[in-house]
Amino acid sequence: MGREDLIVGERLKKIEELRKKGIDSYPHKYEPKNYSSEIKEKHSKLKNDERAKDYVKIAGRVMTKRDLGKLIFVTLQDSRGKVQVILQKKETEDGSFELFKRYVDIGDFIGCEGIVMKTRTGEVSVLSKKIVVLSKSLLPLPEKWHGISDKEERYRKRYLDLIMNPEVKKVFEKRSIIIDSIRELLKKKGFVETDTPYLQPLYGGASAKPFETYLNALDMKLYLAVSPELYLKRLIVGGYDKVFTIARNFRNEGIDRWHNPEFTMIEIYQAYADYNDMMELTEDLYVNACLKANNTTKVSFKGKEIDFKKPWKRMTMAEAIKKFAGIDVLKMNEKELKEFVKKNHVEIKYESWGWMVQGVFEHFCEEKLEQPIFITDHPVETTPLCKLHRNDKTNRLIERFEPFCMGTELANAYTELNDPIMQRKLLEEQQKMLKEGNDEANPLDEDFINAIETGMPPTGGLGIGIDRMVILLTGQESIRDVILFPFMRIESPFVKEKISSKQGFEEKKENKTQKEKKETKVEEKIDKMVGNAAKKVDKVKKK
């Protein structure tokens, strides 16, 4: 029998003994009146060994327990911090003292009532008069929970990460502040928050491979949203002037420090505006969020100071390439650019002038862009949803920008394409690319084109990655550090096998029955896996 099994067995025994005494280890309710941080702040000026008149009632998890016989020192952790609780034989009710001494373990939740005092060593504490067990923990807390070796487990078991590393919660508190600041500023500027569907019959709005799913009720294939863009533009067509949504996007692509299969973005559309207006809005949103979260426009990231104070530097993609790669792409034809790409081993998507320009920029420039900067005027091939540049007679450039910082893009914005004839042509080209095997191309959405044909005013559009914003404004290493539950590979062997198998959707009704049988078997396996959590407890109990 392992150490964990012994601990589980002992705790089950304690629960049974408490039950026989008429004490419920899992009561329905408890009403704390005070919190750790509030208690320590309010009574910080107490003298050593002095008692306050305040009687407090707190609740939290026992993190440490030091039993000195007639005196027990406890560290209690609640949602706002930690506070020391002292149980003393002559001060604490006999029943509560013995209850805690014998039945309470590290990891348990307790309720505590008592008076506030400051110890001889100067620590504000609660001298307990009464203790109540609120929840017995069966599994022990980790003894050590730090270092790179524990990173994966921290993400997978975020609840343990939050228990053992309370400072992690501060990152997510700042995330909430950042999102609130975005909503506050946009609503102040007259934008209306809206919802867009996550389940879509057609996907679009970004070059991305979608996740597929199936709606049994209507017997049809659906996609998880890769972007809310096309729906928000429909709202502009319908008469909204300023709209935004903070939405989850789902893209079946790679996972790294900047990417997660599902992520949070804000998309914003403003009628009668262009990409210049969107640049100013991007600056305003970042500056406001940084000030709200950090009380300054400066942050430290990977040992370097970043200043989001506006105005940010602006540079065209061609200017950036000229600075960092030493060539003028605007004076180069497709053949010359192809020779340069081949010579420098630049990865490209397609052998067109625009995609080669994009590849050269990514190869030579991106990682050198450390301070906030707008990279403007991208090649036309890179998106089918943007207007041609008003000052480019060659029709090779579009009015698009991406702001960069510390080598990664922060947002994407256009002067939106509202010419229905050109929009149809570009999306038809996308449809053709999709049929030829480009799984990041957009399908032809006739309803969206019909909306543009109905008439859309000049519009500026902006999409900002919330997760990346939080990474930078909180100085974190990875997107997994700013998402409470980042996607992780499932550890169960049979689920791994299921995930790795690429199964298509059955299009014929007679095949659906067979599919449902397979899904039932998987559900039975999952039920069996869930039951394993109780097996270990039952095994220990029988012993």
- List, as one string, the DSSP characters of 428-471: HHHHHHHHTT-TTSPPP-HHHHHHHHH----EEEEEEEHHHHHH
Q: Does 520 have pLDDT greater than 70?
A: no
Judge contact between 407 and 176, C-beta under 8 A: no
Paired residues of 102 in beta bridges:
none
Joined together, the tokens standing for residue 96 give: 């509560």
Which range is least confidently modeled, 308-322, 361-375, 381-395, 528-542?
A: 528-542
Count of CB atoms within 10 A of residue 366's CB? 16
Instruction: Identify the three-state secondary structure at position 49.
Output: coil
Looking at the domain covering 168-317+365-481, what would its CATH class be?
A: alpha beta
pLDDT of 492 reads: 60
Measured N-to-C along each axis, helices 275-294 and 466-474 cross at an angle, to the nearest 10 degrees, of 40
Judge contact between 231 and 196, C-beta under 8 A: yes
User: Taking the mean position of all CA atoms in its chain, how far away is CA 31?
Assistant: 32
Same topology for domains 3-135 and 168-317+365-481, yes or no?
no
SS (H, E, C) 232-277: HHHHHHHCCCEEEEEEEEECCCCCECCECCEEEEEEEEEECCCHHH
d(CA 396, CA 408): 24
Judge contact between 124 and 118, C-beta under 8 A: yes
Joined together, the tokens standing for residue 526 give: 């999952």
DSSP 141: P
Joined together, the tokens standing for residue 126 give: 């609660």
d(CA 85, CA 128): 7
Q: Domain coordinates of the chain in residue numbers?
A: 3-135, 168-317+365-481, 493-542
What confidence tier does 113 reach under pLDDT thresholds 50, 70, 90? very high
Closest by CA to 203, choosing from 275, 268, 252, 135, is 252
d(CA 447, CA 177): 37
The model's pLDDT over 145-175, given as tens digits with 9 standing for 90+, comes to: 443 346 888 899 999 999 998 899 999 999 9
Paired residues of 248 in beta bridges:
264
Q: Does 511 have pLDDT greater than 70?
A: no
Paired residues of 224 in beta bridges:
199
pLDDT of 296 reads: 97
CATH of domain 3-135: 2.40.50.140
d(CA 33, CA 22): 26
User: What does pLDDT average to over the chain?
Assistant: 90
The mean pLDDT of 299-310, rounded to a whole number, is 95
Joined together, the tokens standing for residue 252 give: 């079946």
